[in-house]
């Protein structure tokens, strides 16, 4: 599930609903909600095992995965090889809009 901005920037600027929604479409950070049974099972690609686990914040490519809109938000279905890194705090990877 892609990271969703707060409705106010650190400087106190109130962001519109459209800005918050568009930022979710363009973010490269998401929360791992669920991992499939075959995830990270290819020993050739992942000799040391999984890069991430459920409830980790991850970094992925801008166009990675299939996008599914639900309840005013979005989910992305990613392949295990589309995960680039695990991040501790998604706010540090956000656009300059909120920093």
pLDDT in tens, 56-73: 999 888 788 998 888 877
pLDDT for res 74: 80
Cβ contacts of residue 96 below 8 Å, gap of 6+? none
CB–CB of 13/67 below 8 Å?
no
Lowest mean pLDDT among 39-48, 65-74, 81-90: 65-74
* 98 Cα distance to chain centroid: 17
Give bridge partners of residue 70 from the DSSP assignment. 73
Q: Which domains does the chain have, with CATH numbers?
A: 17-93 (2.30.33)
Backbone angles phi, psi at 18, to 5 degrees: -65, -40
Give bridge partners of residue 57 from the DSSP assignment. 31, 87
User: Rounded CA gap, 61 and 55, in Å?
Assistant: 19
List the structure tokens of 79.
């392949």
Task: Tell me if the pTM is above 0.75.
Answer: no
């Amino acid at each position: 599930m892609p990271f969703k901005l707060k409705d106010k920037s650190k400087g106190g600027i109130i962001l519109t609903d459209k800005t918050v929604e568009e930022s979710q479409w363009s973010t490269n950070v998401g929360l791992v909600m669920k991992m499939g049974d075959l995830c990270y099972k290819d020993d050739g690609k992942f000799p040391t095992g999984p890069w991430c686990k459920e409830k980790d914040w991850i970094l992925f490519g801008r166009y990675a995965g299939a996008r599914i809109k639900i309840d005013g938000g979005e989910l992305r279905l990613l392949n295990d090889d589309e995960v680039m890194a695990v991040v501790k705090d998604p706010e540090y990877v956000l656009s300059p809009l909120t920093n």
